[in-house]
Structure 1
Amino acid sequence: MDAAKNSIPQKWHPAFEAYKERMESGLQYGGAVLLLVTVSLYHLSHTHFHVHQANLGTTELLLRLPLVGATFLALIAHWTGYPRWPARYFLRLMGITLSGLALALLYLFTLYEPIMVTQVSDAMTIAFFGATVMALRSLREWILIVLIPVSVFWLAAIIKGLPLVTLVAVFIGPALIMFVTCMLMAFVRKVAVDGFISREKLHEIATTDPLTGLLNRRAFMPLVRQEYARATRSDSVFSVILADLDKFKKVNDTWGHEAGDLVLLETATRLGSCLRQQDALCRWGGEEFLILLPDTDAEGAMIVAEKCRRQMADRAIDIHGVDHTQTLSLGAAEHRTSEGIDPLIIRADEALYWAKEHGRNRAHLSGSN
Structure 2
Amino acid sequence: MKTKILLTGATGLIGSCIAVELLENTRGCEPLFLVRAAGKAQGVERVRAALAKVGARAITLAGIEESQIILGDLGASAKLADDARLQDVTHVINCAAVTAFSNRPSIKKVNVDDTLAFAGVIAGLPAVRRFVYVGTAMICGAKAVNRVVCEDESPAPTTHFVPYTESKAAAEALLPGVLGQVPLTVVRPSIIVGHSRLGCKPSTSIFWIFRMLYLAWRSPFPLDYKIDVLPADYAARAIVFLTLKDELAHPRYHIAAGPAASCTFGEILDTFGKNGGRQAAPPLKVTIRHYAENLASFNAWFGPGNPRLMLRAINLYYNFANLSLTFDNARLLAEGFEPPPRFIDYLGLCIKTGCHDPVSQQMIDDFK
Q: Same fold (TM over 0.5)?
A: no
If the TM-score is normalised by the length of the shorter chain, which range does it land in? under 0.3
Q: TM-score, normalising length from structure 1?
A: 0.25
Greater relative CO (CA pairs within 8 A, separation 6+): 2
Q: TM-score, normalising length from structure 2?
A: 0.25
* Greater helix fraction, Structure 1 or Structure 2: 1
* Greater strand fraction, Structure 1 or Structure 2: 2
- In our comparison, the structure showing a higher alpha carbon Rg is 1
